[in-house]
Amino acid sequence: MKKILQLIFSLTAISAVCGAILAIVNNYTVAHIKELKEKKAYNAAKAVLPPDVKAVETRKDPADGSLNVTIGYSTADKSKVVGYAVPGKSQKGFGGEIRLMVGLTSDRKVISYQVLAANETPGLGAKLGDAAFVKQFGGKSGPSLKVQKDGGDIDAITGATITSRAVCDAIADACARVDRVEGKAAAPDPAAKAAAQAEADSKAVGKVQPLTDEIVRKVLPTPAAALKQIPAANGDKFPSYVAKNEAGETVGYAVVGTGEGMGPNGKIIIHVLFGFTATKTPSLRGQIILNQPDVTMTDMESAQRTAHTKAFDDAAKRIMRIKADSIH
């Protein structure tokens, strides 16, 4: 008993010391990362402001107090505005959110921009920061700030139209932010914004086909004498199924995977019912798309491919969870 108590005491002491060290390192790391982000944003703001700026002032966006707009003045007494350095964001990037620091003249014409954060495809979407692509935005404003496919003047990056549209969207966000700071546009109403998002999500999903045993059996291996339903959990919208033969042996799985794709008119969300064999490494047996998003877009096929790939990855993860749960 004495040795056990000594062991418990030693482990507790070691855990306490390790926890303290981790807390110190975490505090330092978080502060350091924040400092680096602020420095990057500061340097980006300096880079995109007009060269004749003599004084600057920062104001918070009334719709998002965490973001600041830097106003550049041509005189020390701040009597004449010559430009702005303002963050612009878009959730429509191929790899997720794109954040830019956008330089604008006093009449909202683009000076230039710098990329603060992006996770686009290497070699394609990652070219959003290339000088040749950035340069074509200079001097443009309003309706011209769209890719040519959408009626604007911007020549999209080859093979990365979605990324190019997201850059235009982020610049539009920056222009709207300046208007709010200058009192030319009201901050968006949270309730109206939530309602608009709900409507957009509804269109992105479209009408969903009900999941029935009959549909499930279409994607499962044969023979599937019985289906065991696993209720939806962990935020899942659909149940999963384990198929068994007459001997009670597992012969397959049926799960719904969900994936998103981004097109010019917004995102699409696809729910796909996948059937897998019950082998050591489950292989695809069949699949049925349960919904058709109610979104019209010129490059729907690209968005569908992206959404389908993500749906398959999601389903594969669910299969592994089902297999793991069946072991315990």
| Spacing of C-alpha 155 from chain mean position | 24
For residue range 133-172, what is the model confidence (pLDDT) as tens digits?
Answer: 999 999 999 889 999 988 899 999 988 888 999 999 999 9
DSSP strand pairing (64-73 vs 81-93): antiparallel
For residue range 98-108, what is the model confidence (pLDDT) as tens digits?
Answer: 999 999 999 99
239-245, Cβ contacts within 8 angstroms, sequence gap of 24 or more: 239/211, 240/318, 240/322, 241/216, 242/322, 242/326, 243/278
Rounded (5°) CA angle 102-114-140: 45
Contacts of 240 (CB under 8 A, 6+ apart): 229, 230, 232, 253, 254, 255, 256, 318, 322
Query: pTM value?
Result: 0.58
For residue range 262-311, what is the model confidence (pLDDT) as tens digits?
Answer: 766 667 888 999 999 888 778 888 999 998 776 554 556 777 888 888 98
Q: For residue 21, is pLDDT > 70?
A: no
Q: Determine the average pLDDT of the residues in 197-205.
A: 77
Q: Where does 13-138 show beta strands of DSSP type E? A: 55-61, 64-73, 81-93, 96-105, 110-117
Match 């068994």 to its residue by tokens: 244
Rounded (5°) CA angle 85-48-70: 20
**Among 314, 301, 233, which Cα is nearest to 274's?**
314
Torsion angle of C-alpha atoms 170, 174, 180, 181, degrees rounded to 10: 150
